Structure formats: C-alpha cells, structure tokens
Structure 1
Amino acid sequence: MHSLRPIHNRLRRFLGSERGEFFDAAVERWEICPTEEVEIAPGIWLPDQVEQIAQTEFGGLPDILAQMQGHPAEPTPPTMGYRFRDVDFVDGVLHARGGEHHLRQRKRSGLTYPRPREAISGALYESWIGNRWFGNWLLNDCLAYRLAEAEAAGDPVTSAPVRGGHIARYEELLGLVPRRIDDVHFDELVLFDDLHNNRSRRDRAQQNRARLVAERALKPLPGVFIFRGGSGDARILENEAEIAERLEVEYGFRTLYVDRDDADRMIEAAGAARMIVGVEGSQLAHGVIAMPAGGTLLTLQPADRVTTSLKLLTDCWRQRYAMVVGKGTARGYRVEWDQLRRTLDLIAAENP
C-alpha cells in the first residue's frame, strides 16, 4: 500500500494552495521553558573588521552586526514541545495532515512512497541542520536529546545510522542510546522547538559539558588551536600551520587535529582551556562543548563567508565569541599575524 500524503502535499503547492504548516497538525503543545530576557554578551573584534567583510553567510550584514553588538536583555522565545498523531516518516520527511517537515535530503523521487509498515511512538530530536553539519548535531541535537528523555512518553528516536569516529564516542559519553529508524509510521510523535538560548537550553548545555569532563584530570591551558586543514566544506586558511605554530610558541597553545585526535583528547585539552581558536567551522564544536563558561571562541574567517552562526552556540554555552576576518576567499585566504595578535590582546583586556 502506498501513502498518498506526499503527492497531496506536492499537488497543493502546484495548484497554488497554501501549504499547511506542519506544526498546525499538533494535537498538543506545551511550554517547557517560558519566554524570558537573556543577557547576550557582545562579540569581540577589531574596529576595522566590518570593512573587511565582502559577503556574509546564513544572514545579512545587519544580522552579523546585531549578533556582534549583543544585548543586555534580549527577549528569548520559549522552548516548546509538540505532540502529533498519525504521522508518516518517509525518505527523511515527516508527513502530517497537509504539511511536511524535512529532516534530510530526499534520496528517492516519485509522487508516492510505500506506506511504512512499522508503527511506533517516540520523540525525534534530530534536525535538518544537525543532519547536515556535525557541529549542529553535537551542539543542538544532543541538547534536544535531553528533552526527548525527559518530556516524551516514547523513546528518543533518530533516523541517523550508527556511525564511528567522533560521533560514536560522543554518543557514548553523553549517554545517547536512541532507537534508530528508517521509514516508519508514528502513532504518536513528539517534536521540540529548541533553538532559543533560554535558561532551559543553557542549563542542558552545562549538563552535557559536565558529562564529558567528569572524572578527567584536566590541566589548565591558555588556549587550543583546532586545525581544520582540508576537512569539511572548503575553507582554506593558507597560513594555518604558521598560525598554529606561533600560538604554540608565543602563547603556550596546544594544537589539535580533527583527522588525528579522538574525542577524548579534544575534551581533555579544551575542557580546561581559556580560549579555542580556529577556522570557522564545525570542527570548533569540539572546543565549544568542552570549554568552560567564560572562555572565548576566536574564529578565523574568509572575507566572502562571514558568519556568526557559532556565536549563537557560544551564547548558549555562556562563552565569549570573537572573530578575525582575513583577506581572500574560502578557497584560499590569509589572516595576518599582527591582526590576530591585536585581537588576542583585545580578548585579554575584556577577559582579564
């Protein structure tokens, strides 16, 4: 038997009908953490950095400036839970009455799909951005897992397959034991709106950090440089090795390599570091999740891809955020040492 929901939803869009909002199909919604005002620390950068920006990512220049400005009492929306009934999960997409919610890129084409034969109940904690980027999985989805444990009647579930490397070890250390699914029908499904840095989310961030650093003999470090190299989407810092070496020699930093160091070595180094430095990207999530509150994340960014997406996460982990905008493009750029040194001085002045 085939499910007609995918074709119904596509036909509604083709005929110009208003697309049903997926979350309107919820049979119950509840507030996990109320709306509140949260102090957002300003970002740290040199006064001339705005002039270096050629292009932004994940938001326009006004968004970048607002994030870097901070806010003494930013209105922060609530964390919400939603309960649904009679939902199909097919090829990475949730289908409810008149609405779709995409969690993965489709792998199949066609207007109909086999209706799932297995029926379950559970709480999905994964997200589109978490399935796309490792950093968002570690710093967003793993926080939502804590909600799935506490708020849902069914098991935490995910469509992510069993993976090795850093992800498998983080799942073990954080106590993530989800039920892994393929195409299924949910008799009852719980989802969360959990991207707002309110008290609940910030507390869960510290709980996850505590799980990672528990019973480790952490040795204080001035800072850690996380070497990106050619990993992930292209962001080639041409003098990355030179910067790593000078930070080691002149500031006492330790360099970590995402393709060589395991999760435990990352945690043990970052867990007592005052600063994490590196090319802006998901590899810095290893530092954010382990670095203590009050530490600073310093991102080195190409002029054509400037973003404050990681600042939203350091705000959650109660850390400071800084950036240096280099010269060149994501395919090849440089950060001059003098510019980096002056930014480090600025960070030291604001965090004595």
Structure 2
Amino acid sequence: MPSLRPIHNRLRRLAGLDLAEFFDTAIERWEICPAEDVEILPGIWLPDQIDHIAQTEFGGLPDILAQMQGNPAEHTAPTMAYRFRDVDFVDGVLYARGAERHLRQRRRSGMIYPKPRENLGGALYESWIGNRWFGNWLLNDCLAYRLAEAAGNPVTSAPARGGHTARYEELLGMSPRRIGDVHFDELILFDDLKNNSNRRARAQENRARLLNGRKLTPLPGVFIFRGASGDARILENEAEIAERFETEYGFRTLYIDRHSAEDMAEACGAAQMVVGVEGSQLAHGVIAMAPRGTLLTLQPADRVTTSLKLLTDCWQQHYAMVVGSGTASGYRIGWDQIQRTMDLIEDKRSKNSS
C-alpha cells in the first residue's frame, strides 16, 4: 500500500489547515545538556565596516551586530533529544502524525508515494543545512553524529560520497547506516544547535579525533583558497591577498582541490589563524584550529553574514571579518583594510596573553 501521508498533509494545507509541529509529536523527550550561561567572544572588525554593508544573508543587520558584539554570559538553551514512533521517511521528508520535517529537497512531484520498503529504528543526525552545505555538514551534522552514536544505530539519507567528505567520515570514526525511503518504528532526533558546554565538548572531541597521532609544527596561519568553488563569491584579488599573507605574515596557502583532509587538518591544527573568503571551505580550518585561534573571513558587501561565527563560538575561537567593495559575483578588498584588521587581531591576542 502506498504512503498516504504526503498527500494527507498536502490536502490539509490546501484546506487552509496548519500542520502540527514535528517535535510536538514526540512520545518522549529528554535533556542531554541543560540550559546554561556561556561566554560568546566578541567579533573583530574595523569600526567603519558597518558602513560597507550593502546587504546581509541569513539574518538582518541587527543579527550581525548582536553576533559581533558577543556576550560574556549568554543564556543558551538546552540540547534536547526526542523519541518518535511510526514515522515515514519519504523523498527526503519525515512524516509523523500530521507533521512533517524536511531534510532535503524533494525529487518527486507526485501526490502519492510508494510505501517505504523496510522498517527500522535509529537515530537520525542529518539536517537540511548540512545536506545543502559542506561546512554545515562538517561542523553541525558531524557533531550531532556523536549524539546519534551514543543513542545507538546512527542513520543518514546522505549517499556515500568521495573526496573530503568520505575521508572526514573515516577520520571522525563515522559509520552510519545509509537509508532510502523507510518506515521508522522508532526514531530519535536531536535539537543540537545551541553552543552549550556539551556541544563544545563534542567539538573538541572531533578535533582530537581529527588530529590524533599527527605531529603539528606551529604555523602563524593558513589561507584557504576558494576560487570559483561552491556558490559564487569571487574575490577578484584573492591570489594577490594569499601571496601577501605568505610573504608578510608567513602563512601557508591551502587549496581545496589539491590538498587532502589530512593536509588541511595538519596545517590548520597548528595555525593561530585561518583566513579566506567566507564560505564552506573555511570549515576545514574551524574544525582543526585550536580554541582562541582566529578565523578571518573576507566578505562581499552584498552578502555579509556571521553564520561561521556561530560555529567559531562552538569551537571557542575568535571571529573577524573584512567587508570588501563589490558584489558576490566580483568584489575586491584593499590590503590596507586587511593590515588594519590584522593589527586589531594582534592587539586582541596580546591583551589575552598578558
């Protein structure tokens, strides 16, 4: 018999009826880490950078300013686990008792879907943003994997992939069961986007797994070259900036199409700073760099975001940004702006060490 839940929910929407909140359908919920106050480090940027912002991404200007301000004791919500029964996972969507939760874009457009081919129980750790962006997979979903691992039988709908993704799974000790359309007799999900002490501890556990057995030679910093990879963010003078970081600050340049996950880990794990165009390629640096290191993002004026700061907050690293002139399809950043920002970073480092 086909799964009728997709058409049932669609008919409810056509009738103007709201769907239930997915987490409200859980039969059990429990705290993994209670709410607590945590330190959020302030961001580092030049006083005039606000004037350079033409448009923001993933939040408005007030969100950007609040993130960059930091908070010595920010109240942080708990990490929660939820248990569900009788859940269909069909075409990237979880269906349960008049609710749905999307984990990836649908591939089918029909009204009726085949019945899931197997029944199982498991803990699902993937997310919509992790399925969309590599950086969120590495820095969010791979943290939630540790929770799924502890709960038993971690599962994911993400297909096996090659390249950096496959190698990170090996280095982080991840061996999930990969699923298609299935029926869950029992399913566990997590609310795990709050940077409390439990999540921060798992971040350091993943860093330790990644760097286990590696000899790290101290390095002033690395520049992770983005080029034309991923969604367009074309820093027109990126090569010039990378070269000047090498010659003036002793940085090493890494290229995501040339260097392995191990290369990235060994360099970034030994570095005091990671620099590059804002984007998922910088996740290679965040996961490996030590606490109190600094991530410096180079951003176009029409796509300013602090998405990566939410992640450096978890890894307890400093976050800095420089906003350039132009748009994501082509922008430039003057070296003088970078130098003055580097002076701010060095001043912050000197005060912290004194």
After TM superposition, is the score higher than 0.5? yes
| Partner deviation per Cα, 1:106-146 (whole Å, 9 max, x = no partner) | 00011110111200000000000000000000000000000
Return the letter of the residue paired with 1:349. D
2: CA distance, partners of 1:182 / 1:289: 29
Structure 2 gap segments, 5+ residues each? none
Please show how residues 221-236 of structure 1 align to structure 2 within 5 Å: 221-236=219-234
What is the alpha-carbon distance in structure 1 between the residues aligned to residue 146 and residue 252 of structure 2? 32
**What is aligned with 2:101?**
101
Q: Which amino acid aligns with 2:300?
A: P
SS in 2 for 1:113: coil
1:90 maps to what in 2?
A: 90
Query: Any residues of structure 2 matched to 1:169-180 within 5 Å, and which?
Result: 169-180=167-178
Code of the aligned partner of 1:8: H
1:29 is aligned with what amino acid?
R
Root mean square deviation, CA, Å: 0.5
Secondary structure of 1:311's partner?
A: helix
SS at match of 2:75: strand
Measured after TM superposition, the shift of residue 72 of structure 1 is: 1.3
| Aligned counterpart for 1:277 among listed residues 275, 278, 287 | 275
**Partner-residue secondary structure (3-state), 1:107:** coil
Q: What SS does structure 1 have at the residue aligned with 2:44?
A: coil
Residue 264 of structure 1 and its aligned partner are, at CA, apart by 0.5
Does 2:155 correspond to 1:157?
A: yes
- Runs of 5+ in structure 1 lacking a partner? none
Equivalent position of 1:135 in the other structure = 135
Cα distance between partner residues in 1 of 2:172 and 2:248: 35
TM-score normalized with structure 1 length: 0.99
Letter in 2 for 1:34: P
Within 5 A, what are the aligned runs for 1:1-352? 1-150=1-150, 152=151, 154-352=152-350
- What's the TM-score, normalizing by structure 2? 0.98
SS of the residue aligned with 1:208? helix
Superposition misfits of 4+ residues, deviation over 2 angstroms: none
What is the CA–CA distance in structure 2 between the aligned matches of 1:19 and 1:119, rounded to whole Å?
Answer: 24
Rounded to whole Å, the distance in 1 between the matches of 2:2 and 2:180 is: 16
**Which amino acid in the other structure matches residue 65 of structure 1?**
L
Deviation, structure 1 residue 19: 1.5
Letter in 2 for 1:48: D
For residues 30 and 293 of structure 2, the distance between their equivalents in structure 1, rounded to whole angstroms, comes to 34
**Per-residue Cα deviation, 1:142-194 (whole angstroms, up to 9, x for no partner):** 000000111x2x40000011110000110000000000000000000000000
- Shift in Å, 1:13: 1.1
Distance in 2 between residues matched to 1:92 and 1:262, nearest whole Å: 30
Q: Which amino acid aligns with 1:89?
A: F
The one-letter code matched in structure 2 to 1:318 is Q
Deviations 1:193-216 (A, max 9, x none): 000000000000000000011110
Q: One-letter code of the match for 1:314?
A: T
The 2-side partners of 1:80 and 1:282 are apart by: 26
Distance of 1:117 and 1:248 partners within structure 2: 55
